[in-house]
Structure 1
Amino acid sequence: MDPKQAQLLREIQQLEFVAVELTLFLDTHPGEQEPLNDYNLVTNHLNQLKAHYEKMYGPLAVYGFSPMEYPWRWTDGPWPWETTHY
């Protein structure tokens, strides 16, 4: 995996972590506006990064998040989690 791909994947993983943490916080503090704003910013940025990653390197998941182009590329390696560049 090239360094740019590994860095982009790391950023996606970091934002996914932040999104999960904000979700858990909002589950117990549903009336808090600032964390909700942060969640919306994070998920918007996360979706943009995922779209960029998939355009450059192929799909992150095979189950309905991204349209697939011909030929089927899901089995082209390496898999998104097969990296040692963390």
Structure 2
Amino acid sequence: MKQVPEEYYQIMEQLQAVDFVLVELTLYLDTHPDDLEAINQFNHYVKERKHIKKMFESQFGPLQQFGNSYSGYPWNWKDAPWPWQV
């Protein structure tokens, strides 16, 4: 497996933290669907996640398959390490 820079891990950690917040807010909103502040927080973190994902993928390649991430040329989905390998 090729060596990845420290920034790879830093951005991945940011993405994981935002994902955690989104999961927790989703669970909360399932039982409190009228909480406007929580909905605003959720939407804020969705936007933040998109930004972090775009930043990660522009530097290190796709995070998800099946049309959820673009591929560079040549096809770079095969390039390791994949996010779940680190």
Match status 1:34 vs 2:37: yes
CA distance in 2, matches of 1:2, 1:55: 14
CA distance in 2, matches of 1:73, 1:55: 12
Q: Percent identity?
A: 40
**Unmatched tracts of structure 2, length 5 or more:** none
Please report the RMSD computed on the Cα atoms of aligned residues, expressed in angstroms: 0.9
Superposed CA offset, 1:22-71 (max 9, x none):
01100100010111110011110001000110011000011211221221
**Unmatched tracts of structure 1, length 5 or more:** none
Match of residue 74 from structure 1? 77
CA distance in 2, matches of 1:79, 1:20: 22
Runs of 4+ in 1 over 4 A off after TM superposition: none
TM-score by length of 1: 0.91
Match of 2:61 among 58, 73, 77: 58
Match of residue 19 from structure 1? 22
Q: Is the 8 A contact 2:61 2:72 kept in 1?
A: no
CA distance in 2, matches of 1:31, 1:62: 34
Match of 2:6 among 3, 23, 29: 3
TM-score by length of 2: 0.91
Q: Is the 8 A contact 2:29 2:39 kept in 1?
A: yes
Match status 1:44 vs 2:47: yes
Matched length: 83
SS at match of 1:81: helix
